[in-house]
Amino acid sequence: MKKIITCIVLISLLYSCNKPKSGSLIVSGTIDGLKKGTLYLQKFKDTVLVSVDSVSLNGASSYILIDEIESPEIYYLTLNKKTDQKISFFGEKGEITINSKLSKFVTAAKISGSKNQTLLEEHNAMIRKFSNKQLDLIKEKFDAQKNNDTALLSKLEKEETSLIKRKYYFSTNFAVINAKYEVAPYIALTELYYANIRLLDTINNSLSKKVKLTKYGSELDDFIKSIKETEE
């Protein structure tokens, strides 16, 4: 009788270990050149970055990671916990493919399957142009200060202020146009936290009812309320 019970326990343990994982978010792909290592699927819970799934690769470069997701949010595909090699992406229900290379893990990443991710990449491509222009202005301002050219310095400072405003207006307009996607409140929270409260209100008021109830929709509403309470 004891042998039968032992066999039943072992069978159930083997079944539970080999039972396929399930979840509404499936992340898969190939990391070219990766033969041995561990990939982690991570996201923030409150302010702590936690691993929700992981897979150890030994001789294979393809992977599958899974999580149960309530609403679209930012995830990280991390190569080995002790490194800072993290591919950030917008996770959402369904299948998302992330292919990359071991030699250029972050910069070579190609992500598909997420509409929010596609929109975020489109937004960020323009933001990089603004940032590059701002860096040029900062360098020019430094040179003007070194040469005691106050007239040029004043001109460059006005240009930088105008550039920052244009960047804020671009992000606001982009978020309003895409207000039915969760990327809209995410952009407000990450790009416009120093902007005029009116811009944040504009985005918040344009969000669909569905998006307002999501993680970033709720966080944006709370953020705006906290600012208004401070100003009173």
**Please, which residues have CB within 8 angstroms of residue 138's CB and are 6 or more apart in sequence?**
160
Angle at 74 between CA 68 and CA 77, to 5 degrees: 80
Q: Is residue 195 within 8 Å of 202, Cβ to Cβ? A: no
Asked, for residue 4, whether it belongs to a domain, the answer is no
Same domain membership, residue 128 and residue 86: no
Same domain membership, residue 107 and residue 150: no
Domain that holds residue 45: 20-113
User: Is the pLDDT confidence value at 11 over 80?
Assistant: no
User: Is the pLDDT confidence value at 5 over 50?
Assistant: no
Same domain membership, residue 145 and residue 78: no
pLDDT of residue 220: 98
pLDDT of residue 25: 98
pLDDT of residue 230: 87
Same domain membership, residue 196 and residue 170: yes
pLDDT of residue 111: 98
E strand or H helix that includes residue 62: strand 62-67
User: Is the pLDDT confidence value at 205 over 90?
Assistant: yes
Provide mean pLDDT across the span 154-172.
Answer: 97
pLDDT of residue 83: 75
* Spatial CA neighbour of 59 closest among 78, 20, 31: 31
| CA distance linking residue 90 with residue 113, whole number of Å | 10
How confident is the prediction for the chain on average, in pLDDT?
Answer: 91
| CA distance linking residue 87 with residue 40, whole number of Å | 10
